[in-house]
Amino acid sequence: MAEVSVLEAVRMALDEAMARDERVFILGEDVEAGGVFRATEGLAAKYPGRVIDTPLAESSIVGIAIGAAHYGMRPIAEIQFADFIHAAFDQLCSEASRWCYRTKGDAWLPLVVRTPWGGGVHGGQHHSQSIEAFYAHMPGLKVVAPSFPADYRSLLLAAVEDPNPVIFLEHKRTYRLIRQELNGAPAETRIGKARVTRRGGDLTLYAYGLMLHECLAAAEELAAEGIECTVVDLLTLRPLDTEAVLEAARATGKVLIVHEDTLTGGFGAEIAALIAEHAFEYLDAPIRRLCGPDIPPIPYHPAMEGFYMPDRRKIAAAARELAAY
């Protein structure tokens, strides 16, 4: 078995997708040279003419991908940082999301938009945003946010094969931090399915991306104190695996939802509303969210970024309070 990083798993999936289907091509800023994180390194030489540099114009990148997908190609558009994807908001939310609906299912739009997101890398206000709530809000878009290399590989391949537009979020802090042994064919991870990564009877933690790993670390610490946590890796934010979310909430009766995006209007509010509406009678405590504070950007200074970001220490503290309720 070979141990690979998240970044290597992404590159592996891109390579596999291009080898399988000659309609697959990559476009984005500096992708011919590998991109700023080296996710596409080596692919331009291996697949001549199918890894294409673009101008610094995110609206054009997504617009070109929409046109190519409409005419039978399978584009993978890279937005260099998620902070810049909003320049393509209209293309994604007014065009791509509605393509199938407005044609009554006669036309599909198989495109993938990959983008690095999240904090913890001292990127400051323009390179640290969490943008998932904006796009998970939009019917017609699928939003995927894996945590482990195996899931990055399998879900990226699934996204390329999906007939719908998929926004594929890659947490930049995990690129080289998180490693996992991979061997053989991709795991059977499906878009729209969550996974319980740890089981315990006292409370449930929900997370995705970097925060999933922080939740697992907190759960280990809490286990030594006799507090056993179920940890749910959401994997896909749209479509959300509502069955898995509700099953875990009903099993423990206490839930803590963790994400690094700001609290107000963050994706955790959707999970909280779902549980409150469909599993209220199973709850033994108020639903708790642990999120980033409501400030416009993530600060650059390490101390202030640490204040902003949820982490295993903060998660463990919130979980202790919840378990004692």
> What percent of the chain stands above pLDDT 90?
90
Within-domain flag for 190 = no
Claim to verify: residue 142 and residue 250 sit in the same structural domain: no
Indicate whether 263 pLDDT > 70. Answer: yes
Tokens 């640490």 appear where? 306
**Residues noted as catalytic:** 127
- What CATH number does the domain containing 149 carry? 3.40.50.970
Same domain (yes/no): 21, 163: yes
- CATH number of the domain enclosing 225: 3.40.50.920
* Residue matched to tokens 């080289």: 176
Q: What is the pLDDT of residue 1?
A: 63
Alpha helices in the chain (DSSP H): 6-20, 43-46, 58-70, 89-90, 99-102, 132-136, 149-161, 210-223, 242-252, 267-278, 302-308, 312-323
What percent of the chain stands above pLDDT 70?
98
In a domain, 188, yes or no: no
Instruction: Examine the pLDDT at 187 and tell me if it is beyond 90.
Output: no
Q: What is the DSSP string of 293-324?
A: -S-SS--SSHHHHHHHS--HHHHHHHHHHHHT
State the Cα torsion 267-269-271-272 to the nearest 10°.
Answer: 160
User: Under a CB-based contact definition with an 8 Å cutoff, are residues 306 and 260 in contact?
Assistant: no
- On whether the pTM is more than 0.85, the answer is yes
216 shares a domain with 139: no
User: pLDDT-derived band of residue 125, with 50, 70 and 90 as boundaries?
Assistant: confident
What whole-number distance in Å separates Cα of residue 51 and Cα of residue 29?
10
For residue 189, being part of any structural domain is answered with no
**In this structure, are residues 209 and 236 in contact, taking their beta carbons and an 8 Å threshold?**
no
Same domain, yes or no, for 165 and 296? no
pLDDT at position 22 over 90: yes
Q: Which of 140, 161, 182 is the last residue of a domain?
A: 182
How many Å from the N-terminal Cα to the C-terminal Cα in the chain? 44
* pLDDT tens column, 284-303: 999 999 999 999 888 889 89
Same domain, 153 and 206: no
Neighbours of 260 (CB within 10 A): 28
Instruction: Note whether residue 308 is domain-resident.
Output: yes
AA letter at 82: A
Residues 175, 200 within the same domain: no
Mean pLDDT over 227-242 rounds to: 98
177 located within any domain: yes
* 213-235 mean pLDDT: 98
Residue 296's contacts (CB-CB under 8 Å, 6 or more residues apart) are 125
Residues 176, 150: contact at Cβ < 8 Å?
A: no
Residue 173 lies in a domain: yes
Residues 64 and 132 in one domain: yes
Q: Is the pLDDT of residue 94 over 70?
A: yes
Band of residue 105 on the pLDDT scale cut at 50, 70, 90: confident
Q: Which DSSP state fits 287?
A: -
Range of the domain at 213: 195-323
Please indicate, yes or no, whether residues 175 and 223 belong to a single structural domain of this protein. Answer: no
CA 167 to CA 182: how far, in whole Å?
Answer: 24
41 and 176 both lie in a single domain: yes
What pLDDT does 189 receive? 77
